[in-house]
Amino acid sequence: MPPRRVVSLVPSITEALATTCPERLVGATDWCTHPGDLAVQRVRGTKNPDLKVIGALAPDLVVANKEENRELDVRRLREAGVPVWVTDIETVPAALESLGRLFRDVLEVGVPDWLAAAGEEWGGPVPEPSLEVAVAIWRDPWMAVGRDTFTGDLVARLGWRNVLADSAERYPHVEVSDLDRDGVTVLLPDEPYVFTADDGPEAFARARTALVSGRLLTWYGPSLVGARAALTAAVAP
């Protein structure tokens, strides 16, 4: 029998579950903000989930992610007899494939329409880049998206070249001068750091800046549908 009581420790997967099979979702983290009317038991954060609360929910599946969640918490849940499905996402195709397996093979609800639409929107070859970008994710200290990330792959599929794609780290600490270059557009998302019109753009003298939705850049799920047009519009001169 497929899982009937699912706890999600991944905000983007929480949205995917709530959109596709809401009756099975019984718990989610405090960071799971979509859909806005989500009414399930909160289990604290992605890095410090309350394992006792999760256990009390008697889930037959917990969904986690290698990057967002701690191996220690996954191990403790499994030692307590709770099955945990761990995703490892570094590209858009990998995200779509992983979600397809979850809904088709694990939950046995078939491939949802939004997932098929996301596949059509983001499928196909990676285009030649027509714009150089950097993706800031934090300030004081400044951090940005580097190599081998879902966001970096999504950016490439938009036809943009991440100037830090060859970085030695996935999320390197940087100086403003590393990003503030002629011809570069610095993307300033509203998560995890909340960049705003008054907090972020003023740091750059040479590069263009664009305030964008962090959810559209970093979440894999229903948010992928329409994200291409929205992000393209946000960066347009």
- Residue ending a domain, among 88, 104, 120, is 88
pLDDT in tens, 151-204: 999 999 999 999 999 999 999 999 999 999 999 999 999 999 999 999 999 999
User: Which residues are registered as beta bridge partners of 184?
Assistant: 132
Q: Please give the residue range of the domain that contains residue 65.
A: 6-88
206/179 Cα distance (integer angstroms): 9
Question: Three-state DSSP class for 135?
Answer: strand
pLDDT of residue 191: 94
- The answer to whether residue 185 is domain-embedded is yes
CATH number for position 60: 3.40.50.1980
Mean pLDDT of 144-150: 97
pLDDT of residue 235: 95
- The answer to whether residue 103 is domain-embedded is no
pLDDT of 226 above 90: yes
- Residue ending a domain, among 36, 54, 88, is 88
- The answer to whether residue 214 is domain-embedded is yes
Same structural domain for residues 158 and 72? no
In one letter, which amino acid is 132? E
- The answer to whether residue 217 is domain-embedded is yes
- The answer to whether residue 118 is domain-embedded is no
Contacts of 75 (CB under 8 A, 6+ apart): none
Tokens for 223, please give them: 């948010």
- The answer to whether residue 101 is domain-embedded is no
Contacts of 140 (CB under 8 A, 6+ apart): none
The structure tokens 């694990």 sit at: 106
In one letter, which amino acid is 38? L
In one letter, which amino acid is 13? I
Same structural domain for residues 151 and 82? no
- The answer to whether residue 171 is domain-embedded is yes
Same structural domain for residues 141 and 201? yes
42/50 Cα distance (integer angstroms): 9
pLDDT in tens, 84-120: 999 999 999 999 999 999 999 999 999 999 999 999 9
pLDDT in tens, 3-40: 999 999 999 999 999 999 999 999 999 999 999 999 99
Domain count, the chain: 2
42/29 Cα distance (integer angstroms): 5
Same structural domain for residues 73 and 141? no
Task: Tell me if the pTM is above 0.85.
Answer: yes
- The answer to whether residue 117 is domain-embedded is no
- Residue ending a domain, among 69, 88, 107, is 88
Same structural domain for residues 139 and 228? yes
